[in-house]
């Protein structure tokens, strides 16, 4: 639990917005994160954080930074070691957040196949080890994704 709390506390707050409405990209990502959260059944402390958060940048495992296009955006997802359970899939999460540069989700319960990442122009690091998904990428897809943008 202390590792989870450290991750949660280390997440940058959306301070640049000072209570103002977040940009459309962050609203989109919050909606995607909330839809994903509905498929997760545990652990309860992660779900409690996600339920209580009103901004994607405040949710445990979601980290925001300014991207190369100078837009404040969801830059990385760090679910490593969260041990997420439920009917959780990468499709509908990983491929619905186009500003992601890093996706680390090792040691969770992801199943299913990996969605196409051809439209993820910043994505250059993915760790899906120790999951139950068919976690394979074509070399072409990985090299194309990291060179675009």
- The string of pLDDT tens digits covering residues 79-112 is 999 999 999 999 999 999 999 999 999 999 999 8
Neighbouring-strand partners of residue 103: 77, 126
34 half-sphere exposure, CB direction, 13 A CA radius: 13
Dist. CA 114–CA 127, nearest whole Å: 12
pTM of the model: 0.78
Distance in angstroms (rounded) separating the CA atoms of residues 145 and 149:
8
CATH architecture entry for 2-11+22-147: Alpha-Beta Horseshoe (3.80)
Q: For the chain, what are the domain ranges?
A: 2-11+22-147
Please write the tens of the pLDDT for every residue from 52-77.
999 999 999 999 999 999 999 999 99
């Amino acid at each position: 639990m202390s590792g989870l709390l450290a991750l949660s506390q280390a997440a940058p707050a959306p301070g640049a917005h000072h209570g103002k409405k977040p940009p459309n990209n962050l609203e989109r990502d919050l909606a995607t994160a909330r839809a994903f959260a509905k498929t997760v059944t545990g652990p309860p402390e992660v779900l409690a954080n996600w339920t209580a958060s009103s901004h994607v940048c405040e949710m445990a495992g979601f980290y925001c930074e300014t991207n190369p296009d100078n837009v404040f955006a969801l830059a990385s997802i760090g679910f490593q070691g969260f041990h997420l359970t439920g009917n959780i899939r990468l499709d509908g999460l990983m491929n619905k957040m186009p500003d992601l540069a890093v996706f680390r989700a090792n040691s969770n319960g992801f199943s299913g196949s990996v969605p196409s990442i051809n439209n993820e122009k910043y994505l250059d690091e993915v760790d899906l080890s120790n999951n139950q998904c068919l976690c394979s990428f074509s070399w072409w897809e990985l090299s194309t994704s990291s060179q675009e943008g």
